[in-house]
Structure 1
Amino acid sequence: MKEESKQPPSPSSFLPPRATHRLLKYAMLCIAVTYILYTLMLILLSIPKSATIAISSRPKPTSLTHIVFGIASSAKLWGKRKSYVKLWWRPGLLRGVVWLDRPVAISKREVSSMPSIRISGNTSRFRYTNKRGRRSAIRISRIVAETFRLGLSDVRWFVMGDDDTVFLPENLLAVLSRLDHREFYYIGSQSESHLQNIFFSHGMAYGGGGFAISYPLAAALSKMQDRCIQRYPELYGSDDRIQACMAELGVQVTHHSGFHQYDIHGNLFGLLAAHPVAPLVSLHHLDVVTPVFPNETRAAGLRRLFDGPVRLDSSATMQQSICYDREKMWTISVSWGFAVQIVSGILSPREMEKPLRTFLNWHRKADYTGYAFNTRPVARTPCLRPFVFYLQLARIDAKKTNRTVTHYGPRRLLDGGGSNGDCNWTDKAPTMIEKVVVSKPIQSSMWKGGLNRTPRRSCCRVQKSQRKTTMRIDVGICGEDEIIGI
């Protein structure tokens, strides 16, 4: 018989079955990865170069240096009103121009610590037929366009305001950075007076409260505004002329409740103590209303606000928190950095959100129905009025640098215009409280996030205190199941 031919053994015959399976898995994995990489390469090659450039050239986050202010003033008023601008202006960080009708004397110190001064262009060629207004409205309406024509570099937003408008720059930045500056945006707020909105426009951003215009919209406005102004000689002011031109450009106002025109008279307390859940951006008509803090000048009160709360945590300034002392049956409202109210009895958050009518309408004969928002009356009997504790001190917590501590006092009974006589207070009335101390974390990212992010009021909680005359309150982000209620 012939001998059988011997075949060399295959490599796999030397391997155990498990190792053979492992090699097959590795081979299949390598084939799959190669296929995926090849597919991705084909996809990338099919994307147009323009799209690739767009992806890689996303704009950097908006900063304060991207904002340019145009401030309306006059030679007659600048000497008095410049003190307001000094409160909020940041030399070297902010950019802007004060536009006057004629030259004024400027000291060397002011040149370096204030916005630059420029003289508005001649507007004598424009018609003005409104018998109640002033021709200066035409000059002021052209401030955004004239500021645009200066050709400043790296500008995303132009912000308009009066010389008695006080801005909170970081809060303004928080609002504008959530919008796409490459689109047409015209953002501001209405008047507090319903009659003012009827007389002028519900679709107008009031100039005293300030408004912002994105760069491409400012470019479009500068091209057509002079022709537009000629078509509206009968209009009263500068802001309604701006709005008329915006209507011709097809752009509607984006309302934001942080810009405040303050077309009111009297005490701002009710409005400031119940500020909406939005960053406080601006304050206006400060020469008309009473000082922010009692027994102080307007300038001193605003300085206390800016040197303390605004400096420590601008985003939380004036933000209202509502809580309750369940044992004593007290309602407590904290307007952070401004004032604390303690009310004997239980008031719902729905009521506490409504501003107390401590002020009068711009049209003095108008009653409470003349406001463009809900209000509630101040009780005429002292038993039902809140005790108010105004800000005394604001500081960083000595133990935790990411927390603030604010002190409020002494106790004041809110003036309601009625009887201020003695009230037969019960044992649980807040008459023994002389000082309120509030602890709160710094919330610099409070307003950051996409346009669809829903803001929420912070929660406050009454803490135990070693002194009966001192109330301690913790303010912070609400817990998962925490609600504002008794």
Structure 2
Amino acid sequence: MDSSKQQGWGRYQFFCENIGQICWKAFKGGGGLILCGWAVYVFFLVLSTHPCWQYSGCLPAGLLRGRINLLEKVINEEESATTGLEHIVFGIAGSAQKWRERKPFIELWWRPGQTRGFVWLDRPVNETDPQPPVRISEDTSRFNYTHPRGSRSAIRISRIVSESFRLGLPNVRWFVMGDDDTVFIPENLVRVLSKYDHRQMYYIGSNSESTEQNVVHSYGMAYGGGGFAISYPLAKALARVQDDCLVRYPDLYGSDQRVQACLAELGVPLTKEPGFHQFDIHGNLFGLLAAHPVAPLISLHHLDSVASVFPNMNRTAALRHLMKAAEVDPERLLQQSICYDRRRNWTVSVSWGYCVQILDKIELPRVLEYPLQTFLTWGNSARKSSFLFNTRTVARNPCERPTVVFLKDIIKTNLTHLVGTTYTKRAMDWVKMNCSWSPNDPESLQNIRVVSPKLQHDWTRAPRRQCCEVTSSDTHGMEIKIRNCANDETVFTPS
């Protein structure tokens, strides 16, 4: 080999070794994809002008083509990998004033070392090693805010996704927004986002439960307290245009309105997922939690504005109790199953991981899917038309209300794929008193055991509520089995 060829071969080896190191480090760290691609592209241009490139027998050209094909394969595999928690960056809106008060809500679901993201505050707080990590939002004093009843912090909060994007974090597919009093179920969030192609522009969330709030703000908007997800390409576009966009909307009330306004200018509509819950309501969440839609529970919000989710427990302890069920079988949490005790003429409605209701009559599934209205709207309206869903009126006579038992414990079974939960009585606001019980009344029940397989539903397929059956019952207890329904099985079978 002559000296000129030896020099060319040496340059080729040098470039390949260095490009290989750059790309390997980039892929191990989950980032640097653009830098790696740029380096390969430049190298390709340089060698493609060399006469050797025109001949298939040229060793450097052949090796380079092979390395480029390998790189393309690695890139495609990386992009097609299933979305996981490591691909999500959370942006939690908070304030220094309420940080101590709201931090316990975040600690319920945040997993140090696994969950990525930041709590964005308006000023520093005295924290030596905060978890989750805290960042201070950029100054927004240059933007006008003219809404007469709102807070200009809405501008700061609306920019959290853009500021998170500009951090340049590696290996990000989704930016998820929430408030400091939002509780997420991370596994269910991952399952839902996995349905969507993160390489496209997606804006995913849900409306308020309150018709009034949607009329005032927007039906096309994801409510920020319930949380919403923005895909990486859309976050990139939003970060580029948002500051110019915000100038045009000084009169809007909230941060989520501003985000939606800018996304509307980009032409991206809201994709609705019913598992995000804004909970613009007052009172008791019981009715809603006992009749959840057939969809994974993703988030709960405004938890310091409603009663504790379990009776006789403070809010934080009650949520921690609920999260125990979420840790064992997150996809099944709050999923409703309906069955009947034919021998006693009872109706049973299970909200897994939360409660079991027993009615001393036969009630149709269509009715049981409607939440009992144990709550009022944000404006304290009690009208049924105030909500985006049908509700049932709570019977005035306590003796006509269902018997309710709440989650007590999660128990191990002999089979690893099965989960056992027990439910017991807790004092409620609607305690049945002075009722004349018959020997067949469900009020005598003290404990109920529910056995179910871990739910691993493919949520890209059509949703379907699972079936249940009463396998045994006596005066003080009952056992229920939850299972997949047969293809043509109906929940209600006339006797």
Structure 2 length-normalised TM:
0.83
Computing the radius of gyration over CA atoms, which structure comes out larger, 1 or 2? 1
State the 1:396 CA deviation.
2.5
Question: Matches of 1:411 and 1:148 in 2, distance apart?
Answer: 46
Q: Aligned letter for 1:438?
A: V
> For residues 431 and 388 of structure 1, what CA distance do their matches in structure 2 show?
9
SS in 2 for 1:197: helix
Q: Does 1:208 align with 2:233?
A: no
User: Are 1:401 and 2:408 matched, yes or no?
Assistant: no
Report the CA distance between 1:414 and its aligned residue: 6.5
Structure 2 residue aligned with 1:454: 462
Give the Å deviation of 1:265. 0.2
- Measure, in 2, the Cα distance between the counterparts of 1:57 and 1:221: 24
Q: In structure 2, which of residues 287, 290, 311 is the aligned counterpart of residue 270 of structure 1?
A: 287
Q: Secondary structure at the match of 1:327?
A: coil
Whichever residue aligns with residue 471 of structure 1, its letter is M
SS in 1 for 2:407: strand
Work out which of the residue numbers 179, 203, 211 in structure 2 matches 1:194.
Answer: 211
Q: 1:365 to 1:249 in 2, by over 3 A?
A: same
Question: How many Å separate the matches in 2 of 1:413 and 1:64?
Answer: 37
Distance 1:482 1:414 in 2: 37
Task: State the distance in 2 between where 1:372 and 1:57 align.
Answer: 40
423-432 or 196-205: which moved more?
A: 423-432
Partner of 1:435: 447
* Sequence identity percentage: 55
Deviations 1:175-227 (CA, angstroms, capped at 9, x unpaired): 00110000010000100100000000000000000000000000000000001
Give the match for residue 486 of structure 2: 479
Cα shift at 1:442: 1.2
Residue range with higher mean Cα deviation, 406-415 or 134-143: 406-415
Query: What residue number does 1:104 align with?
Result: 125
Q: 2:256 aligns with which of 239, 243, 249?
A: 239
Alignment of 1:298-447 (within 5 A): 298-306=315-323, 308-365=324-381, 367-397=383-413, 399-410=414-425, 415=430, 420-443=432-455, 445-446=456-457
Q: Of 136, 149, 152, which aligns to 2:166? A: 149
Paired residue for 1:284? Answer: 301
3-state DSSP of counterpart to 1:228: helix
The 2-side partners of 1:267 and 1:219 are apart by 40
Deviation string, structure 1 residues 419-463 (Cα, Å, up to 9, x no partner): x542333332212211111011112x22x35x3x10110111001
Residues in 1 aligned to 2:156 and 2:394: alpha-carbon distance in whole angstroms: 42
Give the match's secondary structure for 2:316: helix
Residue identity opposite 2:250 in structure 1: P
Taking the aligned partners of 2:427 and 2:99, their CA distance within structure 1 comes to 36
Q: Which moved more, 1:351-360 or 1:375-384?
A: 375-384
- Matched to 1:106, the amino acid is E
Q: How far apart are the structure 2 equivalents of 1:366 and 1:271?
A: 15
**Does 2:96 align with 1:75?**
yes
Moved more, 337-346 or 374-383: 374-383
Gaps of 5+ in 2: 1-68
Q: Is the 8 A contact 2:312 2:426 kept in 1?
A: no
Q: Say which of 472, 475, 484 aligns to 1:468.
A: 475
- The CA deviation at 1:480 is 3.2
User: Contact 1:144–1:160 at 8 Å: present in 2 too?
Assistant: yes
Distance 1:141 1:56, change over 3 A: closer
Query: Aligned partner of 1:470: which letter?
Result: G
**In the alignment, is the contact (CA less than 8 A) between 1:388 and 1:412 conserved in 2?**
no
Q: How many residues align?
A: 423
Residue 59 of structure 2: aligned partner = none
Which one-letter code corresponds to 1:240 in the other structure? Q
SS at match of 1:88: coil
Is residue 134 of structure 1 aligned with residue 155 of structure 2? no
Instruction: Provide the rounded CA distance (Å) in 2 between the counterparts of 1:71 and 1:93.
Output: 16
What code does the residue aligned with 2:482 have? V
**TM-score (norm. length: structure 1):** 0.84
- Does the 8 Å contact 2:347/2:361 carry over to 1? yes
Q: Which structure 1 residue ranges, 4+ long, deviate > 2 Å from structure 2?
A: 52-58, 411-414, 420-428, 479-482
Please tell me the residue identity of whatever aligns with 2:479.
Answer: R
Q: Deviations for 1:130-168, whole angstroms, at most 9, x for unmatched residues?
A: 010000000000000000000000000000000000000
1:84 and 2:105 are equivalent in the alignment = yes
- The 1:408–1:424 alpha-carbon spacing in structure 2 relative to 1, beyond 3 Å, is same
Q: What's the CA shift for 1:281?
A: 0.1
SS at structure 1 position matched to 2:469 = strand
Q: Is the 8 A contact 2:359 2:403 kept in 1?
A: yes
Residues in 2 aligned to 1:123 and 1:206: alpha-carbon distance in whole angstroms: 22
CA contact (8 A) 1:382 1:413 kept: no
Distance in 1 (alpha carbons) for counterparts of 2:283 and 2:492: 31
Label 1:411 to 1:90 Cα distance change in 2 as closer, same or farther (>3 A).
closer
* Superposition RMSD in Å: 1.7
User: What is the CA–CA distance in structure 2 between the aligned matches of 1:485 and 1:220, rounded to whole Å?
Assistant: 50
Equivalent pair of 1:403/1:441 in contact (CA under 8 Å): yes
Q: Which structure 1 segments of 5+ residues have no match?
A: 1-48
2: CA distance, partners of 1:345 / 1:229: 56
